[in-house]
Amino acid sequence: MYPTALTQLARANPFSAPLFSLQKVEEPQHSLHGQKPRRLAAAATADEGDSCEFGSQKYFYYALCGFGGILSCGITHTAVVPLDLVKCRLQVDPDKYKSIGNGFAVTVREDGVRGLAKGWAPTFIGYSMQGLCKFGFYEVFKIFYSDLLGEENTYLWRTSLYLAASASAEFFADVALAPMEAVKVRIQTQPGYANTLRQCVPKMFAEEGIWAFYKGVVPLWMRQIPYTMMKFACFERTVEMLYKYVVPKPRSDCSKSEQLVVTFVAGYIAGVFCAIVSHPADSVVSVLNKEKGSTAVQVLKRLGPRGVWKGLVARIIMIGTLTALQWFIYDSVKVYFRLPRPPPPEMPESLKKKLGLTE
């Protein structure tokens, strides 16, 4: 017999992935040829170098995934602060900042080169916390929802699973991000208001109270949840298609470096779609955090259908690069810590039999 709880988890494994392995409880039996008994796993055999098995160290696994999220989001968002600053200013003051190039020129002329780094501290703190929740909870919800669906439905409805797991994770990630996002936008879009995190936080709290840090959470959900759903679902399916139609050999035959290249390419493709679907809400968030007393509906009406698309080119460049680097860093962290990295999903044997695809 096999341990009941682990057997149920094995059947619910979402991606035919080597997240954990199961072994028989009874004494091993040797075959007639003297071979060792076959080691049973959840649809795929775990790599010998994996540092943890999900069944016995799941919280350790989730914690390291969250750490990977901190590095991937915190580092990348901080690295593109100058482009983010110009993008925000294009959104809130299009009359002054005509284009990306003009935005950089005006900013350097008025604030110097150091002015391009405004808002780096709240960006790093906020997006590190967001990355922790985004990637950590995505792994949690991915397993949880798969457990509810079962192995066959997980494969058939895998895109819906990616969407649901990422949306659930982003809901909590945005609550963690909202305070620092409000501070960042205030520093970047209101010249003279505050130049540093230490100046801005007490000033905002004195003027508007705690609401100042959370009034943008609903627009953040509007922006980030569609963004993250596209980011994870598009990435997962793009990786699957790249290995199926582009990469000339199976993933198992690819080196770690080759796999990371596929990760980067899939991440950039996903990032382009992310930028497009989330840009209108991003424009609303930028204007809302700049102004006092405005609501998301009021800002949306004032911007109009054309206004919400201001700064889209800058955002595509920024988000495409960001998303590619985030997935690259996140996957690299998994490689470094020897965490299980699921291969592209394969149809379960039981489903193949039901569909008459195998004897």
Over 60: is that where the pLDDT of 301 sits? yes
Which residues does 180 contact at the CB level (< 8 Å), separation at least 6?
122, 123, 125, 126, 127, 129
For the chain, give every domain's residue range. 225-339
For the segment 164-215, what is each residue's pLDDT rounded down to a tens digit?
A: 999 999 999 999 999 999 999 899 888 889 989 999 999 999 998 998 899 8
Range 118-137 average pLDDT: 95
Range 150-171 average pLDDT: 94
* Residue 53: per-residue pLDDT: 56
For the segment 74-127, what is each residue's pLDDT rounded down to a tens digit?
A: 999 999 899 888 888 887 888 888 888 999 999 999 989 988 999 999 999 999
Q: Which of 24, 25, 78 is nearest to 322 (CA)?
A: 78
Over 80: is that where the pLDDT of 46 sits? no
For the segment 247-290, what is each residue's pLDDT rounded down to a tens digit?
A: 988 888 989 999 999 999 999 999 998 888 888 887 887 777 66
* Residue 139: per-residue pLDDT: 92
Any idea what the Cα angle at residue 332 is, between residues 328 and 333, rounded to 5°?
A: 120
